[in-house]
């Protein structure tokens, strides 16, 4: 398995963390956007501070930029970094798209498909012309004629999609070079994720060998069972936020993902309590099993065993979110985890 992590530039000490992570041998660093700093600016800066590590947008939110601007950005970052760039795209959700950016979240599947098709057309270097349900270039009824960019990619630019819903997973299998997943439970992945991903792959005449399965989880090492118990308890509120606070009042893809993996009743109750303001009550409903199943937390032997399960489930790139109260502590955790991946 390759090793990766995800950062967001507003986090304290993140640049030093990335520079040192490269020295530890980390393969890929994804840069998040969400509702914090933008990803492309951060990637450009990190590309200048690193030499070997691959950098990816994890993710650019489709709909907040025109597809051609997405392609221009990807070409610029890839060329400047000597081909060390992966284009990660995601549909986000109604709260961020409509509540933050003022962009309609309607028809995300169509918008994603058309964006990827158009971005790849731009990469090919010809005149840009596209007529879709969401995207029309040039705009009809005006005076414009098709144009082409004055620059082209000097290196291949793989496209990864961050998806969770069955329809989006099928699309990922059809058109993407990689899948950026989350809320991943290997034991429930066949029904929750891979069945849909495989349908898309088959429709495109591909197999899982043709796509990079990239999954992420927090990694933390406990000295013994007593320390582990405290770690698990500390993380229940974070998981309750994902189940109850991510997305809008009616749309939460994280909640749906956990529901498909066997926790539908708990996920529904956590969401209900979270939305009525009972955050502690919501966290209390999260079970130890839910935390341990979707993280890489445990003693070193437990984490090694869990990594083997991830690898055997088909994960090709593991995104490690190292725990720690300081830069040195996070780097120590990351270094231990990278070493375990290499030995697994």
Q: What pLDDT score was predicted for residue 10?
A: 85
In this prediction, residue 140 has a pLDDT band, given cuts at 50, 70 and 90, of very high
Q: Which of 278, 296, 314 is the last residue of a domain?
A: 296
Of 50-64, 68-82, 90-104, 251-265, least confident by mean pLDDT is 251-265
Same structural domain, 243 and 116: no
Q: How much is the pLDDT for 247?
A: 67
User: Are 61 and 174 in the same domain?
Assistant: yes
Give the Cα separation of 159 and 233 in Å (integer): 37
pLDDT digits (tens, 9 = 90+) for 214-229: 999 999 999 998 899 8
Q: Are residue 215 and residue 230 in the same domain, yes or no? A: no
* 66 and 182, same domain (yes or no): yes
Whole-number pLDDT of residue 251? 74
Domain span at residue 252? 223-296
Are residues 248 and 182 located together in one domain of the fold? Answer: no
Cα separation, 67 vs 53, whole angstroms = 26
Domain identity same for 203 and 263: no
What is the domain count for the chain?
2
In this structure, what token pair is assigned to residue 1?
A: 């398995």
Beta bridge partners of 28: 4, 54
Per-residue pLDDT tens for 165-197?
A: 999 999 999 999 999 998 888 988 998 899 999
Considering the domain architecture, whether residues 181 and 282 belong to the same structural domain is answered as no
Answer yes or no: do 198 and 230 share one domain.
Answer: no
The pLDDT assigned to 148 comes to: 96
- Residues 6 or more apart in contact with residue 137 via CB below 8 angstroms: 67, 68, 118, 128, 129, 130, 146
- SS3 letters across 38-91: CHHHHHHHHHHHCCCCEEEECCEECCCCCHHHHHHHHHHHHHHCCCCEEEEEEC
For the range 301-308, what are the long-range contacts, defined as Cβ-Cβ under 8 Å and sequence gap of 24 or more? 302/222, 302/228, 303/219, 303/221, 303/337, 303/340, 304/340, 304/343, 304/344, 307/1, 307/340, 307/341, 307/344, 308/344
Mean pLDDT taken over the chain: 93
Task: Evaluate whether 27 touches 54 at the Cβ level (below 8 Å).
Answer: yes
DSSP code string of 246-288: SS-SS--HHHHHHIIIIIHHHHHHHHHHHHTT-HHHHHHHS-H
CATH number at residue 116: 3.20.20.30
Query: Could you tell me if 62 and 199 lie in one domain?
Result: yes
Same domain, 260 and 128: no
Residues 151, 240, single domain; the answer is no
Same domain, 98 and 45: yes
């Amino acid at each position: 398995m390759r090793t990766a992590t995800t950062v967001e530039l507003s986090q304290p000490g993140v640049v030093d963390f990335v520079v040192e992570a490269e020295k530890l041998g980390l393969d890929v660093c994804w840069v998040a956007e969400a509702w914090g700093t933008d990803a492309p600016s951060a990637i450009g800066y990190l590309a200048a501070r690193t030499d070997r590590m691959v950098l990816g947008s994890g993710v650019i939110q489709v709909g907040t930029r025109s597809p051609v601007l997405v392609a221009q950005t990807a070409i610029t970052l890839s060329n400047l970094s000597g081909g060390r760039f992966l284009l990660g795209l995601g549909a986000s959700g109604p709260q961020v798209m409509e509540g933050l950016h003022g962009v309609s979240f309607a028809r995300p599947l169509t918008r994603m498909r058309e964006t990827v098709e158009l971005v790849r057309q731009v990469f090919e270097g010809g005149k840009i012309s596209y007529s879709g349900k969401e995207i029309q270039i040039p705009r009809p009824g005006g005076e414009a004629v098709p144009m082409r960019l004055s620059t082209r990619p000097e290196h291949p630019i793989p496209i990864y999609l961050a998806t969770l819903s069955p329809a989006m997973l099928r699309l990922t299998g059809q058109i993407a070079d990689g899948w950026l997943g989350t809320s991943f439970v290997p034991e429930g992945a066949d029904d929750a994720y891979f069945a849909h991903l495989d349908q898309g792959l088959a429709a495109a005449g591909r197999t899982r060998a043709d796509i990079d399965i990239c999954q992420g989880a927090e990694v933390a090492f406990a000295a013994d069972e007593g320390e582990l118990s405290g770690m698990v308890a500390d993380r229940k509120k974070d998981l309750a936020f994902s189940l109850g606070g991510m997305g809008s009042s009616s749309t939460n893809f994280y909640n749906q993902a956990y529901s498909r993996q066997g926790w539908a009743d708990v996920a529904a109750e956590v969401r209900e309590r979270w939305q009525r303001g009972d955050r502690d009550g919501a966290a209390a409903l999260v079970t130890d099993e839910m935390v341990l199943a979707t993280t890489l937390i445990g003693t070193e032997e437990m984490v090694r065993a869990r990594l083997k399960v991830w690898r055997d489930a088909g994960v090709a790139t593991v995104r490690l979110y190292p725990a720690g109260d300081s830069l040195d502590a996070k780097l120590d955790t990351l270094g231990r985890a990278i070493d375990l991946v290499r030995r697994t």
